[in-house]
Structures are given as C-alpha cells and as structure tokens.
A and B are shown apart, each in its own frame.
Chain A
Amino acid sequence: MAAVQRASVRQQGVSRFVWPISMLAIVIVMFVFYNNIEPNLQTNIANGINDWLPVATFNESMVWIIMALGLNVVVGYAGLLDLGYVAFWAIGGYAAGWLMAQPWANSWTFHLGSPTYLSQAPGIHVTFWLVLIVAGVVCAIAGIIIGAPTLRLRGDYLALVTLGFGEMIGQIAQNGKVAGINLTNGDTGIASIDPIGTGWFGNLQGVPKVLTAFDDTYKLLVLAVLVAVCMFISLRIRDGRLGRAWLAIREDELAASMMGVPLVRTKLSAYAVGAFFGGLGGVGFASAVTGNVASSRFLFSVSITVLLMVVLGGMGNVWGVTIGAVILSWVNSTGLSQFGVQFDQWTGLHVADKFQQNQFLLFGVVLVLMMLFRPGGLIPEKRTKKLMREAPRTEAESLGADITEAEVEDEIALEESR
C-alpha cells in the first residue's frame, strides 16, 4: 500500500529518469557535435554556429546553472528571498584565486595535485577538484555567518539585509585590502587561475592534459559533471527529512516550528547548501570560463540575474531552473549582442550596442510577462502548479455555497418580481 501511495509523491519507474537521461543525452550530443562535427563543417555554417551558439557560451551557462540551482535551494525550496547571492560566487572565485594562482606571495609555493606543467611554478597550486570542495565549504560557512544574524528576520527584511551583504562583499573585494592584507587585488583582480587538469584522463588519446582556452569542448564535459552533481544533491535533499522541513517552512513557518522543526537551523542549512553551490560556481567560473577573478564582476546585477533564472525556470523545480539558467545566460552572453549585429545587418542601422545596454530592461519586461502569464515559471514545480491552477478545496466549496445561495436569492427575487 505504501508503495502505491508513494507514487503520488515521487514519480515512479521510467518516468523518473526521463529528465536525467535527456539531459545526459543532450550533453553527449553537444560534446560530440562541438568536438568532432563542428570543426569539419563548411566555413559559413561553422561561423554561424560560432556566432550564435559558441561552445564557450554553454560552458558559461553551466556555471550559471550551478548557481541557479544553489539559489533555488534558498529561494525555491526554503522560500527565503536572497538578493545577495553574488557574495558566494565572489567568495568561491577568490578561493580559486588564492588556491590556484600566484596572486601576490611569490615566496609561498605549495602544490597539491595540480597539473604537471605547473610543477615549477611559484605560488599556490591546488587541484581544481579539491579547490571546489574547499570553496564550497568556505562558502557554506560564510553562508551560515551571513545567515545567522539575518534569518531571524522575515520576508522583505531578510531580502534587504542579504542585499546589503551582497553589496558588502563586492565592496570589500574592490577595496582589495582587508586589515592590511591584500586579499583580492582590487579591480585588477587575480590572474591567471590554473586551468582544470584532466589527470588520468589526459593519457587518453585526444584528451588534453590541461583544459586551456582552446579546450572548451572538454570543459563542457567537466562542468556538466559538476552540474549533474548539483542536480543530484538538489533532488536527493529535497526528498529527505531536510527537504521536507524546508518545504514546510516555505508553506507555514509558525506551523513548522510548532511541529518541532528548528527554524533557524533549518534555514541556515538551506543557506549553507545554496552557498556551497555558489562556491562551486565561483571556482568553475574562475578556472574554466574567465581564468581570472576581478571585483568588477561581482555586481548586484548578478544576484538579480541568478534570481531571474530561478523565477523564469520555475522556483523549486530543478529542471526548470536549469533551463531558465541556460536561456538567460545565453541571452546575456551571446543572444542579445548577436541579435543586435543581425538587426544592424537587416536594417542598416547602427544600434547593436543598444540591445546589450538595455538587457535589464528586457529582463524586466520578461519578468513582468512571466508573472502575468506563467507565474510558476517555464516548468513549474509540481506543487506550485497545483497552487496556480486550482483553488483550495475548502475555499472552492465555501465559494460554491455562496454561489448557490446567491442563485437561490436571485431566483427568489425573480419570483417576487413576477
């Protein structure tokens, strides 16, 4: 009996694997396409693809997916509005800067599992995978530190305070020096971050030893693995004890606490998990996408963009959020500017810059339209969908009673008028 009833909560059997398998298939197809087919295409077709759908764009969107999944835990699962999520991206990025580069301390030399070509390089060089974990943990701790004083606040107040923290981290990064120690190197930032080493896989034929700017197709695979891990964690936690507590807090904080759910601790764990993902995103971005960390990147607009990805895709739905992140990051990095170029070609005007400049206007319009026509996002979470589509039964029934009463009254009035 339990198993049958469980079906209503979790998808059962094959249908459960539809999304993961299609995602996997898409990644494999993309890799094969960009690695083997695309270089051999006719020049004009290849150029078209490079203009509109370059593989680097997808690498970047993988990082955005990771961050969107992280924010989804905070906003989508636990229902806490966080407007300062960029802070964790920054902390993750600087973790990469400190552990995978030679920022300032020539005298410090430390190597741990870094690619062999770096073996003589000064500075600290730790392998990408370990840095991921370190950055994730550091961010999770930062999330708890930021969260602890703020989570006693509710709703809008929490959002405002997180906004402040996001801005603070950006400012600290820009100032560079903290207590006389140059932590971030200000606007110049830290460069160059070590590329990802492929380790044992580097022995395989055709696989590079390190993933430099020319190995975007392999970065796609590495980042896809990271995304898969984040999705996996998101889905598994959601279905467990903690996920239930998050949902309960999202639904009714007071009732949750009255049912023995410790509010502060549960919220903090949502913050920590979200921040952990943010840290992964930061390291991925620094190491695989840009190769540097600079404070100019850690703007409020990043927090909003990630939030928009979550809202666009469907708060609480891992797959929806993923798609939202891919779409928005593509529009952000390639789509808009490319459309501008195309638009100029068609019309003979010179307004290409305007498209990029007004991207937040566009985002704003998209957000308003989404709220009007598809408030649950592109792929709404199962539960939210119910909320959007049907009135709660008790409400519908009392409404039904009202309607019947009104009808009866109308009929009586009608009778009387005759």
Chain B
Amino acid sequence: MTEAPAAPPSPPSPPVDHELSLDDKVQANVLHADHITIRFGGLVAVNDVSFTIPPRSIVSLIGPNGAGKTTFFNVITGLYAPTEGAVYFDGIDITDTKPHIRAAAGLARTFQNIRLFNLMTAEENVMVAMHSKLKAGMISTILRLPKQRREEREALETAHELLDFVGIGKTAGETARNLSYGDQRRLEVARALALQPKVLLLDEPTAGMNPQESAAFTDFVHRVRDERGVSILLIEHDMSVVMRVSERITVLDRGEMIAEGGPDDIRSDERVVEAYLGKSGSEHAANAKPSTRKP
C-alpha cells in the first residue's frame, strides 16, 4: 500500500493494491475506508475513494477547495453516512456507528474552525472528552462517594498532564475563550488526546498560524505520534507542512482520488500539479517546485 507508482498510471483508476484482500487491509490498518462514495442528491461529492491509515503513521489528505476532503473526513467521523462503501476502524465495521461511539472507541478529531466549549475552562474542556472513560453515576456524584472523588481527581491530573503535553499547562484554569488562538488550537489537540485515541484527525490545524508556528507544528505532530502512539490524519492546505510531516499523501480532486504516495511522488505527480495549478500552469510549476507553494 505504501508503494505507489512513481509515475502516474495512464488509466484513471486510483492506485489500488489488488494483492491484498479487504480483510487484510482491515486487519493491517487502524483505519480503512473502503470504496467510499457520497452523493448529495445528484452531486457526487466523493467517488469511490479508498483510504487507509496504518498504525502509528502520519498521513495527509489534500486537494483543492471543493475536492471532497471535508466530506470524506465527515464520513470517517460519522457525521455523514456514505452512500456506498464502508469504514473499518480497529478491525471493526463502524459505517453505521454513531459519532460519540466512534470517539469513545478512539477516533478523535479537531475542528477546522476551533470548536471548544468556550465558557468552560481548559481543564474542563479536556475532562469533557474523558466522559466516556469515566464511570461515576448520578448517585455517586451526588453523594461524592470516595470512588467518584478519586476518579475526578485522577481525571483532573490526566487533564493537567495533557495540557502540559501540548504546552499550555499554565492555562488550565482559564476559560477557553480567553486563550490565544494558538493555545486554543493546542487545547483542541489536548481535548482530542483525552479520548486516548488510536487515530487523531486534524482538520486544517495550521489554519491561521504564521510560518514559525506552522514549522513548530510539524515537530508537535511528530511528538504526538511518537509519545502517544497515535496515527494521525491531516487535512491541510499548507503544502510545506504537508510535505514535511506526512509519510503518505492522498490527493483528492473533485471527489476522485487522483494520486497517492509519499511526499516525493506527490510533488512530481503531474495530475496533482494540474489539479492545483490548472493545465497551463503545470509546466510552469514543474520548474517552480510546487511543494513550496502556499495557498
């Protein structure tokens, strides 16, 4: 699966590895989206896209605006049901599973436009995400039984650990809306990590960041993967980030998967350049190194 053809194949079908059976793919990868098609009425938003996230990997989903990235993302998180195809997570078919169950099972995400619980503190934000991990019922909460108190204390400690991990430990008691933009992004990651995810989906995490912050973010993504053992799926516009951080990149254009492979393959892929710059621009771009292009 990781080996993609260096040159784009002439038939329009995406590079699918025919040697592996579906079952193999499901077992080998922490997440496998199998032949996903989504139609909104007559509009085909995503057409027959297969996609895998191997364990402890960093993969990216890129494409020009309207390529169907977010739609595909929403199928994985459970906001949309695919018209055709299935999603397998951790060896189980989750196509019909509700978002909160997927989240509790370890499929965590952040949002493109930050969606924190604004009036709650940073630590409370993180603790909300531990909801599915905590056990305390109503009675033990009302009576504040020792078990519940211990659980709450441990949850709080975990929340502080996570906030320290993303580098905003000092803001634990601050209301989320009072955090700076960068800290809010970090808090979103801390909150997602509180789900103890196997896969972390980052939806345009560097949107609104300056180049230095984006650069620091690449290290951060690696650290999250290495220290938390999480696979990461990135949707990103900033090509420099994508190229630096990803092990494998999938390119969507108008709902079709047009390329898949390592950063170098993608950089030199004619169809990708074409999708981003248009036909006439592609020759230009071949010289101008599309990898450094920014949105």
A255-B115, A258-B77 known; A240 vs B136 contact (CB < 8 Å): yes
Q: In the complex, are the beta carbons of A260 and B195 less than 8 A apart?
A: yes
Residues of B within 8 A of A240 (CB): 136, 141, 148, 152
Q: In the complex, are the beta carbons of A383 and B103 less than 8 A apart?
A: no
Q: In the complex, are the beta carbons of A5 and B136 less than 8 A apart?
A: no
Interface residue ranges of B142-157 to A (CB < 8 Å): 142-144, 148, 152-153, 156-157
Q: In the complex, are the beta carbons of A248 and B117 less than 8 A apart?
A: yes
Q: Which of B104, B117, B141 contacts A242 (CB 8 A)?
A: B141
A104 within 8 A of B: no
Residues of A within 8 A of B177 (CB): 386, 392-394
Choose, from A122-130, A261-269, A331-339, the stretch at the interface: A261-269
Q: In the complex, are the beta carbons of B175 and A244 less than 8 A apart?
A: no
| Cβ proximity bits B177-199 to A, threshold 8 Å, 1 near / 0 not | 11111001000000110110000
Q: In the complex, are the beta carbons of A393 and B180 less than 8 A apart?
A: yes
Q: In the complex, are the beta carbons of B100 and A257 less than 8 A apart?
A: yes
| A390 nearest CB neighbor, chain B only | B178
CA distance A331 to B103 in the complex (A): 49
Q: In the complex, are the beta carbons of B100 and A251 less than 8 A apart?
A: no
Q: In the complex, are the beta carbons of A258 and B178 less than 8 A apart?
A: no
Choose, from B17-25, B46-54, B121-129, B237-245, the stretch at the interface: B121-129
Q: In the complex, are the beta carbons of A394 and B119 less than 8 A apart?
A: no
Interface residue ranges of A221-280 to B (CB < 8 Å): 232-233, 236-237, 239-245, 247-248, 251-252, 254-263, 269, 273
| A239 nearest CB neighbor, chain B only | B141
A414 within 8 A of B: no
Residues of B within 8 A of A2 (CB): 153, 156-157, 160
CA distance A240 to B130 in the complex (A): 12
Q: In the complex, are the beta carbons of B120 and A244 less than 8 A apart?
A: yes
CA distance A226 to B199 in the complex (A): 48
Residues of A within 8 A of B157 (CB): 2
Q: What is the distance, in angstroms, from B155's C-beta to the closest C-beta of chain A?
A: 8
Interface residue ranges of B88-126 to A (CB < 8 Å): 98-101, 103-104, 108-109, 111, 115-121, 123-124
CA distance A390 to B178 in the complex (A): 9
Interface-centre pick from A237, A257, A259 (highest chain B CB count, 10 A): A259
Q: In the complex, are the beta carbons of B180 and A383 less than 8 A apart?
A: no
Q: In the complex, are the beta carbons of B172 and A5 less than 8 A apart?
A: yes
Q: In the complex, are the beta carbons of B173 and A9 less than 8 A apart?
A: yes
CA distance A240 to B104 in the complex (A): 19
A240-B141, A241-B131, A255-B111 known; A262 vs B100 contact (CB < 8 Å): yes
Q: Which of A247, A257, A390 contacts B99 (CB 8 A)?
A: A257
Q: Which of A6, A232, A263 contacts B100 (CB 8 A)?
A: A263
Q: In the complex, are the beta carbons of B128 and A244 less than 8 A apart?
A: yes
CA distance A256 to B109 in the complex (A): 11
Q: In the complex, are the beta carbons of B181 and A255 less than 8 A apart?
A: no
Q: Which of B117, B129, B138 contacts A247 (CB 8 A)?
A: B117
A14 within 8 A of B: no
Interface residue ranges of A1-56 to B (CB < 8 Å): 1-2, 5-9
A2-B156, A2-B157, A240-B148 known; A260 vs B132 contact (CB < 8 Å): yes
CA distance A368 to B192 in the complex (A): 41
Closest 5 CB pairs of A and B: A8-B173, A240-B141, A260-B132, A260-B103, A383-B119
Interfacial residues, chain A to chain B (CB-CB below 8 A): 1-2, 5-9, 232-233, 236-237, 239-245, 247-248, 251-252, 254-263, 269, 273, 383-384, 386-387, 390, 392-394, 397
